[in-house]
Amino acid sequence: MKTAVYPGSFDPVTFGHLDIIDRALKIFDHVIVAVARNSEKNSLFSVQERVELLSKILEDRPRAKVETFDGLLVDFVRKRGASVTIRGLRAVSDFEFEFQMAQMNRSITKEVETLFMMTSVPYSYLSSSVVKEVSSLNGPVDNLVPPLVKAALDAKFRGK
Ligand code: PNS
């Protein structure tokens, strides 16, 4: 059984994240979507809200499981008996941060490999931050996030 961990802030989950999860499920038996607890600062959604959104959206994908983690990502990956962590790569701008993180994780342990997946073209410009900004200005996000997330954004920004 091959398990991969897909970590992130997911504040909130977008179609870009779901694309990576679906593609990862074609390679791995199980994918643990791991919401970082230390990403609570300056976030729009609490960790609990993010987990609830992800869990509902991934309900029909039984091989995907949502969890939270504290501390070092590589420690969480090892505790789950996994050896691969997945990260999506968009444009060149992602590379520096991702390179640093992958090298740092590798310097902590050689037991965990980082696997990068290129984001599908329609989502190459998409980020949770852009979604939050557009939604906060009452712009359209229907093509960027699932309806459940759109409703949660409306509730946050417009109390709907
Ligand atoms: O969605 P994000 O915000 O780009 O995710 C970043 C995340 C949560 C994957 C990263 O910050 C992380 O792994 N944090 C856990 C702490 C850790 O392991 N740090 C050492 C590697 S730099």
How far is it, in rounded angstroms, from Cα 111 to Cα 80?
Answer: 13
Question: Which pLDDT score is estimated for 93?
Answer: 83
Question: Is residue 30 flagged as an active site residue?
Answer: no
Count how many residues are written for the chain: 160
Ligand 1 touching residue 27 (CB < 6 A) = no
Question: Which pLDDT score is estimated for 92?
Answer: 83
How far is it, in rounded angstroms, from Cα 142 to Cα 131?
Answer: 10
Question: Which pLDDT score is estimated for 75?
Answer: 98
Looking at the CA of residue 101, tell me the nearest atom of ligand 1. 22
The preferred substitution site among 45, 73, 98 for testing ligand 1, maximizing ligand atoms within 8 Å of CB, is: 73
Residue ranges making up the domain that contains 90: 3-122
**153 assigned to some structural domain:** no
Give 10-residue mean pLDDT values along the chain (160 residues).
96 98 98 92 94 98 98 97 97 91 98 97 94 98 98 94
Question: Which pLDDT score is estimated for 61?
Answer: 98
Question: Which pLDDT score is estimated for 48?
Answer: 97
pLDDT, tens digit (0-9, with 9 covering 90-100), for 86-122: 999 998 889 999 999 999 999 999 999 999 999 999 9
Question: Which pLDDT score is estimated for 135?
Answer: 98
Catalytic residue among 90, 106, 150, 156: 90
**87 assigned to some structural domain:** yes
Do the Cβ atoms of 16 and 125 come closer than 8 Å? Answer: no
Q: Measured in angstroms, how far is the CA atom of residue 8 from the centroid of ligand 1? A: 6
Examine residue 147 and say whether the peptide bond preceding it is cis (omega within 30 degrees of 0).
no
**9 assigned to some structural domain:** yes
**133 assigned to some structural domain:** no
Number of domains in the chain: 1
CATH number at residue 84: 3.40.50.620
Residue nearest atom 5 in ligand 1 by C-alpha distance: 8
pTM: 0.97
